[in-house]
A and B are shown apart, each in its own frame.
Chain A
Amino acid sequence: MQNALAVSLIIAVLCPCIGVFLVLRRYAMIGDTLSHASLAGIAISLSVGGTPLVGAFLFTAACGALIEYLRAHIKNADLVLSVVLALCVGAAVTIMSTGRLGVSVEGFMFGSILTVTRGDTLLALGLCVASVVTLIALYDRLLFIAYDEEAAQIAGVRVRLFNYVFSILTAAAVSVAIRIVGVLVLSSMIALPVAAALQLGRGFKATLAFSVIFSVIDIMAGLFLSYYLNVAPGGFTALVSVAVLFIVIIGKNIVKAVKRGKQ
């Protein structure tokens, strides 16, 4: 449980930090595609006797780079994600169907606290620290690429290079998160805390901070409640995230109504 808690906190910080840029670039569904890439990476890694998290990170990073490469040739972003999703699902299903994995991948599909080891925790911590340091170093450039890619390019930002770097960061977040929340609901962890924070109508830094706060609430509540209810943590965390989003929306409307009443 200690390892699960530590990895959950890491995810709670990392996912919205990446998610805020993805959501604002209207690219939130990349999380869904990359979570399937992560599953394919785990399947490849297990089939050759490797560490699942390392396999997940390497294959997901490769798929992130492939998405960037295809974006230069296929203008429709949804189509790019569909192509890479087909590759990932195809690879994962093919490898799993060989029956050579030796372990069940169900834990990765739905998220499982019990599969988290101390080694996974340390690896996740390393990826998280590296990602957060990179995000801080590239903050202004990534912000401007998300806000106005053309202006960033004119200011001398090497947009394509930073897009590749960002896809590696996304891969890191996805590979770390898949252990707790699972493949099927991972994209919700990237998008929902950000969606709740956006309701508050603040600036970028405040939105980022609130995204992390909501993410911590979602994941911690999801983890503890799923443990006591004996249900999959990933699915329950997604339900908590949706509930928090609705609470924020309703709260915002109540505050608005009260303000209008006072005027």
Chain B
Amino acid sequence: MITAQGLYFSYTNSPPYALAGIELSINAGEYISVVGDNGSGKSTLMRLILGLLRPTRGTVETRAERIGYVPQRSDYARRDFPLTVGEMLRSYARIIKADAKAETAGVLALTGMQGHERSLVGDLSGGESQRTRLARALIGSPELLIFDEPSTGIDRGSQEEIYGLLRRLNRERGITIVSVEHNLTAAMANSTLIYHLHGGHGHSCTPEQYAEEFLKPGLKS
């Protein structure tokens, strides 16, 4: 579903590269967590996959008719924006030419956000806000869901709900999930594949291989 070959990216179009020589292959139905330190190029890689950035060298190809994207929560902090959850979802549905009423009801039920249709997006708690953003990304039944840091800024209970939902979407609906992760415990528990980025270079491995190579004994389970 996603292939990157000899992918280089620099924000200045010249060295140093934020990503250098990335080789990546993600098959349909995978749940891949992209992990690495701050500044390792995780979000840059997501933006390249989404087509928001163009490679400096090499190629990245995404074969999905519909992509759902949940950006990082900090990127999204528009608490003063006068918009209800229902308005946001229906508007997005109309843009992608989906059935606004049916899709809105469907994704609200799926994410457990029924009853919040008239709430202002700025009045939601961290967990509700994250579920609303996931609801928006699920409009139009995407084959690929890209989630930039699902657990950032939300409490443990909400994190469990979000990850439970992501697992169900992946296993029951076959949605391919690419998740940028800081939460290594969640990455180990949910992923079928880990993509580890370090200093702009990356490699794929299974969660078990990743645990053997990088994790302290306490996190290996």
Contact = CB atoms under 8 A, between A and B. Distances in A.
A203 interface: yes
A141 B86 CA distance: 16
Contacts of A151: 69, 71, 92, 136
Interface in B25-71: 50-52, 67, 69, 71
Contact of B82 (A139, A152, A156, A207): A207
Contact of B52 (A140, A150, A204): A150
B67 A24 contact: no
Interface string A196-216: 011001111111000000000
Contacts of B50: 154
Contacts of B96: 155-156
Contact of A198 (B78, B80, B84, B91): B80
A154 B80 contact: no
Contact of B84 (A141, A157, A197, A203): A203
A: interface residue count bin: 20 to 34
B: interface residue count bin: 20 to 34
Question: Which residue among A139, A143, A156, A198 has the maximum number of chain B CB atoms within 10 Å of its CB?
Answer: A143
Contacts, number: 64
A198 B79 CA distance: 12
A78 interface: no
A74 B141 CA distance: 37
Interface string B80-104: 1111101110011011100000000
A27 interface: no
Nearest to A157: B95
Given A141-B95, A156-B96, A150 B71 contact: yes
B120 interface: yes
B92 A203 contact: no
B214 interface: no
B95 A147 contact: no
Interface of B: 50-52, 67, 69, 71, 75-76, 78, 80-84, 86-88, 91-92, 94-96, 118, 120, 136
30 contacts: A24-B82, A140-B92, A141-B95, A143-B91, A147-B81, A147-B88, A148-B71, A148-B76, A150-B52, A150-B69, A151-B136, A153-B52, A154-B50, A154-B52, A154-B67, A155-B95, A156-B95, A157-B95, A197-B82, A201-B82, A202-B120, A203-B82, A203-B83, A203-B84, A203-B86, A203-B118, A204-B83, A204-B87, A206-B82, A207-B82
